[in-house]
Amino acid sequence: MTVPLLFELSSPGRVGCRLPELDVPEAMLPESLLRDQLPLPELTEREVVQHFTLLSQLNYSVDTGFYPLGSCTMKYNPKMHEEVARYRGFAQIHPWQDESTVQGALRLMYELQEQLAEITGLPAISLQPVAGAHGELTGMLIIRAFHLERGEEGRNVVLVPDSAHGTNPATAAMCGYEVVTVPSDERGNIDVQELDRVADETVAGLMLTNPNTLGLFDEHILEVADILHRVGGLIYCDGANMNALLGIAKPGDLGTDVLHLNLHKTFSTPHGGGGPGGGGTAVTEDLRPFLPVPMVASRRTIGTEGESAEYYLDYERPLSIGPVSGFYGNFGVMVKAYAYLRSLGQDGLREVSENAVLNANYLLHGLKGYYDLPYDRPCLHECVFSGKAQAKLGVHTIDIAKRLIDLGFHPPTVYFPLIVDEALMIEPTETESLETLDSFVAAMRQIAEEAKTEPEQVRGAPRTTPVGRLDEVAAARKPDLKWQG
Amino acid sequence: MQQAMGLSSVDELFGVIPAEKRYPALELPSPLSEIEVRRLLADLAERNADLEHYASFLGAGSYHHFVPSVVDSVISRGEFYTAYTPYQPEVSQGTLTAIYEFQTMVCALMGMDVANASMYDGASALAEAGLMAARVTRRHKIVVASTIHPRYRQVLRTYTQGMGMEIMEAGRADDGTVDGSEVERLLDDATAALIVQHPNFLGCMEDLEPLSELAHAVGALLVVCADPIALGLFRAPGDCGADIVVGEGQCLGSPPSYGGPYVGLFACRQKYVRQMPGRLVGAATDAQGRRGFVLTMQPREQHIRREKATSNICSNEALVALAACTYLAVLGKQGLRKAAELCYHKAHYAAQGIAALPGYERLFGVFFKEFAIRTPVPAARVNELLWKRGIIGGYELAKDCPDLAECLLFCVTEMHTRAQIDRLVEALEEIGKQG
């Protein structure tokens, strides 16, 4: 089935939305500045709704099924969050309104900062970054500003483990750093000896993901932090995997100096097909002066009703790296994160991580023996298998992924982390039932069996989708990036 | 479950975490039920003065435009908002098709060849355009118009601080546009880009063609940050010599939401596509010849190219881009033009009314939906007195432009009725008389 595009459905003269008639006198238009054509589609409201409803039905989503995409934390999020973020007192307020008219919004942001500081063990936090990589950029610019403020201009290297997300080295490069890769040891930890060898006074920091992209908590985390701190470097922790640690450990207690959070992974904003997210960045007290301007702050005031807290935007931040967004961050996402934290409390948060870790280990246990397990030890929130045994039979990880689609599941993250051949990175999250996990294990075992007995069944997948495998090589060679009739 | 795994306790799974750091006490508020959370949030929301209760004349980067019900209906579909980035195309054709349509319509508005799947917001899109221009030209200097939104200029500085780039600002001419002769003086053969905003921060239409000639004469790119609603009426920057066009897409179907989530629009000429940041969706076919869409040209991106990527951006603003896509589809060719015309005429009606009041003066030349007014009473005081009358006034320009103390930037859109505008003018008249 080929779905017609908006432009193919368009018919001259159709209108989808009626705007009011002009109720003021017409002003003179500057003719020379006007455009003579506007090639947008012409459709009725009914056609638009039908089109997008049809499109939505071509998507797999958390609401429709199990989405064990590693490192993405595709948990189910309560529907209430969608509703509260749309309250007109949140959605219909303007970022330049006087602070006295948005005290509810500022208080929500302030309290969210306080709660996230408590969870991370890092006292100062900016909610301005709007995505994980945006938080990384903010964090690495803070590290840079910190060193420059101390006159340490020779620190031009950032260490990145070989298991890191691609955003880490890309971020370090955007901050002008040279990236040096540090290998992992045979247990999936950062190689401490190698780290010790490369850590010197040219190092600005280490970008560490913990638990890492193998789903493993670094067994030498305190030693790693110590090595960096001894040479004056800082620890940047990529908090993409924070879903494993809520109430279990505070990154700030483990030597982390800077941490970004993915509000859209851990703290309950659905991923939206690729955003919006929230990349709040938390730092130690020493780094507080460098956080983006403005910061949401509070002060006590005495009014007619006694003493109360007043919330404001603090622009007096001379050492700040500057703003990273047009305004204060993705406020709508903050409302959802706040609602989530107020629903859970301490015990609820710890249960989130316990169940996320338990579920991941259950899958690890269920698939061990069917797929190669390169690092055989208990994982935290996700587990990484290798499809290399199946690859020897001519069935590759990409085939396994596509076959899962036919069996009703979204595939795991594939071919990442790069240090595992034919990687399958599986993150079930805490919100899935035992029945779902069992049916996923059964499907994966079935595919392992098919790889031996009917490899064509796997290689030819998917067969149940609106399109089959698309020729990505041809698409990249001759890019067709917009409709041209 | 634990039994099946041979575990006596979940705690065993956390044995790897140093014991003295494990299970810290968290001082958090007690958990609440759904009823209680909603009540709590409703109470916080009601402490804010919202735009449905108060007429507001604030703009300056965030706009109150009409959002048809269709938009929220589409983006509220769980199939869209609970999906991930479309890495598995066979089960993501809904998202991929919509992004392809979005890219097409952004190109149409801007007069560009290629648009990406979105950036974080207008400010970060502008900063990324500066970085991209530096890659394209292998130069390190950027000339920015001082008539660009001050926050956007600051974000550009934040983004480029580690890259050893030089940012020069060209001043303002008397008519509120960038000073062309100063632009000419600052441009040289080390300049990667000239960046301007159109209409600019003060609401004025820049004269793009001469600026593009100046930039191109030294081999620099012209980057234009445009208001997409204005492009329903005005010539596309691509037809005026722009090489990269960016913009804030919030006005296309998203509420002001206290500053986010918004969406950055980013488009460029075909020849620069390989230096573009962000995701791109392209058409492809399957073995049976059926059309589908995929993420394409990924070797530019961080997950493939790592430290050599064109940007570190990964998650963008897909759902806000879907809102913009739906908005443009439902307004369509006629609707967007009409929305832009309503903004233009109503803003001019308001500007004329205010400028005719004793003591008030409108500054600068041709504008779209925002205009600067010099007030006879200190601008902050004007806003205070407007608020006493239940009106949220204009943006106080003194914050960013010291030479525009006692000036307010008013924004008028299709959301304002004639009665609201008249009430504003009357209130300003009273405030002017009170002195």
Per-residue pLDDT of chain A in tens (485 residues, 90 and over written 9): 689 999 999 999 999 999 999 999 999 999 999 999 999 999 999 999 999 999 999 999 999 999 999 999 999 999 999 999 999 999 999 999 999 999 999 999 999 999 999 999 999 999 999 999 999 999 999 999 999 999 999 999 999 999 988 899 999 999 999 999 999 999 999 999 999 999 999 999 999 999 999 999 999 999 999 999 999 999 999 999 999 999 999 999 999 999 999 999 999 999 999 999 999 999 999 999 999 999 999 999 887 778 889 999 999 999 999 999 999 999 999 999 999 999 999 999 999 999 999 999 999 999 999 999 999 999 999 999 999 999 999 999 999 999 999 999 999 999 999 999 999 999 999 999 999 999 999 999 999 999 999 999 999 999 999 999 999 999 999 999 999 98
Last residue of a domain, one of B327, B344, B375: B327
Do B132 and B59 lie in one domain? The reply is no
Q: B-contacting residues of A 284-343, CB under 8 Å?
A: 292, 321-333, 335, 338-339, 341-343
Evaluate whether A144 touches B162 at the Cβ level (below 8 Å): yes
Please check whether residue B29 lies inside any domain of the structure: no
Last residue of a domain, one of B327, B361, B385: B327
For testing contact with chain B, the best of A181, A467, A480 (most B CBs within 10 A) = A467
Q: What span, in angstroms and rounded, lies between the C-alpha atoms of A59 and B89?
A: 9
Evaluate whether A218 touches A161 at the Cβ level (below 8 Å): no
Do B359 and B417 lie in one domain? The reply is yes
Structure confidence at residue B435 (pLDDT): 66
How far A478 CA sits from the closest chain B CA (Å)? 9
* Residue B54 in this model has a pLDDT that exceeds 70: yes
Test B316 with A131 for CB contact under 8 angstroms. yes
Question: What chain A residue is nearest to B70 in terms of C-alpha separation?
Answer: A49
Test A344 with B31 for CB contact under 8 angstroms. yes
pLDDT in tens, A413-431: 999 999 999 999 999 999 9
Question: What chain A residue is nearest to B319 in terms of C-alpha separation?
Answer: A272
Residues composing chain A: 485
* Ramachandran assignment for A245, one of left (phi > 0), alpha (psi -120 to 50 degrees), beta (any other): alpha
Q: Name every chain B residue with its beta carbon within 8 A of the beta carbon of A14.
A: 332
Do B271 and B178 lie in one domain? The reply is yes
Residue B48 CB partners (closer than 8 Å, separation 6+): A89, A90, A93, A97, A101, A102, A103, A104, A105
Test A327 with B47 for CB contact under 8 angstroms. no
For testing contact with chain B, the best of A40, A45, A144, A406 (most B CBs within 10 A) = A40
Do B220 and B369 lie in one domain? The reply is no
Let me know if the fold of A80-343 is the same as that of A350-459.
no
Question: What chain B residue is nearest to A113 in terms of C-alpha separation?
Answer: B28
Last residue of a domain, one of B267, B300, B327: B327
Beta-carbon contacts below 8 Å between A and B: 638
Of A93, A165, A167, the CB nearest to B256: A93
Q: Name every chain B residue with its beta carbon within 8 A of the beta carbon of A33.
A: 205, 234-235, 366
Structure confidence at residue B338 (pLDDT): 98
Question: What chain A residue is nearest to B152 in terms of C-alpha separation?
Answer: A326
Closest CA to A240 of A437, A432, A427, A377: A427
Do B382 and B255 lie in one domain? The reply is no
Do B424 and B365 lie in one domain? The reply is yes
Evaluate whether B224 touches B197 at the Cβ level (below 8 Å): yes
CB atoms within 10 A of CB B215: 27
Test A93 with B205 for CB contact under 8 angstroms. no
Q: Is A188 on the interface with B (CB under 8 A)?
A: no
Question: What chain A residue is nearest to B120 in terms of C-alpha separation?
Answer: A130
Helix, strand, coil shares, percent, chain B, to 5: 45, 15, 40
Test B305 with A166 for CB contact under 8 angstroms. yes
Please check whether residue B100 lies inside any domain of the structure: yes
* Residue B300 in this model has a pLDDT that exceeds 90: no
Do B273 and B355 lie in one domain? The reply is no
Test B51 with A483 for CB contact under 8 angstroms. no
Q: Name every chain B residue with its beta carbon within 8 A of the beta carbon of A240.
A: none
Please check whether residue B38 lies inside any domain of the structure: no
3-state secondary structure chain A: CCCCCHHHHCCCCCCCCCCCCCCCCCCCCCHHHECCCCCCCCCCHHHHHHHHHHHHCCECCCCCCCCCECCCCCCCCCCHHHHHHCCHHHHCCCCCCCHHHEHHHHHHHHHHHHHHHHHHCCCEEECCCCCHHHHHHHHHHHHHHHHHHCCCCCCCEEEEECCCCCHHHHHHHHCCCEEEEECECCCCCECHHHHHHHCCCCEEEEEEECCCCCCCCCCCHHHHHHHHHHCCCEEEEEECCHHHCCCCCCHHHHCCCEEEECCCCCCCCCCCCCCCCCCCEEECHHHHHHCCCCEEEEEEEEECCEEEEEEEEECCCCCCCCCCCCCCCCHHHHHHHHHHHHHHHHHHHHHHHHHHHHHHHHHHHHHECCEECCCCCCCCCCEEEECHHHHHCCCCHHHHHHHHHHCCCCCCEECCCCCCCCEEEECCCCCCCHHHHHHHHHHHHHHHHHHHHCHHHHHCCCCCCCCCCECHHHHHHCCCCCCCC
Burial environment of residue A289 by CB neighbours within 10 A (0 to 12, 13 to 18, 19 or more)? middle
Query: Taking the domains of chain A in order of start, what are their residue ranges?
Result: 80-343, 350-459
Q: Is B223 helix (H, G, I), strand (E, B) or coil?
A: strand
Test A59 with B91 for CB contact under 8 angstroms. yes
Test A48 with B93 for CB contact under 8 angstroms. no
Please check whether residue B314 lies inside any domain of the structure: yes
Q: What is the DSSP letter of B189?
A: T
Closest CA to B420 of B87, B164, B51: B51
Cα angle A161-A164-A165, degrees, rounded to a multiple of 5:
160
Beta strands in B150-229 (DSSP E): 166-170, 191-198, 221-226
Structure confidence at residue B38 (pLDDT): 98
Do B248 and B342 lie in one domain? The reply is no
pLDDT in tens, A384-410: 999 999 999 999 999 999 999 999 999
Q: Is A116 on the interface with B (CB under 8 A)?
A: no
CATH of the domain at B260: 3.40.640.10
Rg (CA), chain B: 25
Do B402 and B381 lie in one domain? The reply is yes
Do B381 and B271 lie in one domain? The reply is no
Of B74, B93, B120, the CB nearest to A134: B120
Test B37 with A80 for CB contact under 8 angstroms. yes
- Please tell me the total count of domains within chain B: 2
Do B380 and B284 lie in one domain? The reply is no
Name the residue range of residue B342's domain.
55-67+332-434
CB atoms within 10 A of CB B154: 20
Evaluate whether A389 touches A455 at the Cβ level (below 8 Å): no
Residues composing chain B: 435
Please check whether residue B99 lies inside any domain of the structure: yes
> How do strand A178-182 and strand A157-161 relate by DSSP bridges?
parallel
Q: Name every chain A residue with its beta carbon within 8 A of the beta carbon of B317.
A: 130, 272, 274-276
Q: What span, in angstroms and rounded, lies between the C-alpha atoms of B201 and B176?
A: 9
Evaluate whether A75 touches B97 at the Cβ level (below 8 Å): no
- Fold of the domain spanning A350-459: Aspartate Aminotransferase, domain 1 (3.90.1150)
- The yes/no answer on whether domain A80-343 falls in CATH 3.40.50.300 is no
Q: Is A442 on the interface with B (CB under 8 A)?
A: no
Do B354 and B263 lie in one domain? The reply is no
CATH of the domain at B342: 3.90.1150.10
Test B303 with A416 for CB contact under 8 angstroms. yes
Test B284 with A401 for CB contact under 8 angstroms. no
Evaluate whether A429 touches A243 at the Cβ level (below 8 Å): yes
> How do strand B280-285 and strand A157-161 relate by DSSP bridges?
unpaired
Q: Name every chain B residue with its beta carbon within 8 A of the beta carbon of A96.
A: 58, 60, 62, 395
Test B331 with A16 for CB contact under 8 angstroms. yes
Q: Which residues of A52-87 are buried (b: 16+ CB within 10 A; e: fewer)?
A: beebbebbbbbbbebbbbbbbbbbebbebbbebbbb
Q: What span, in angstroms and rounded, lies between the C-alpha atoms of A35 and B345?
A: 17
Test B151 with A326 for CB contact under 8 angstroms. yes
Local confidence band at B307 (pLDDT 50, 70, 90 cut-offs): confident
Of A40, A132, A273, the CB nearest to B95: A273
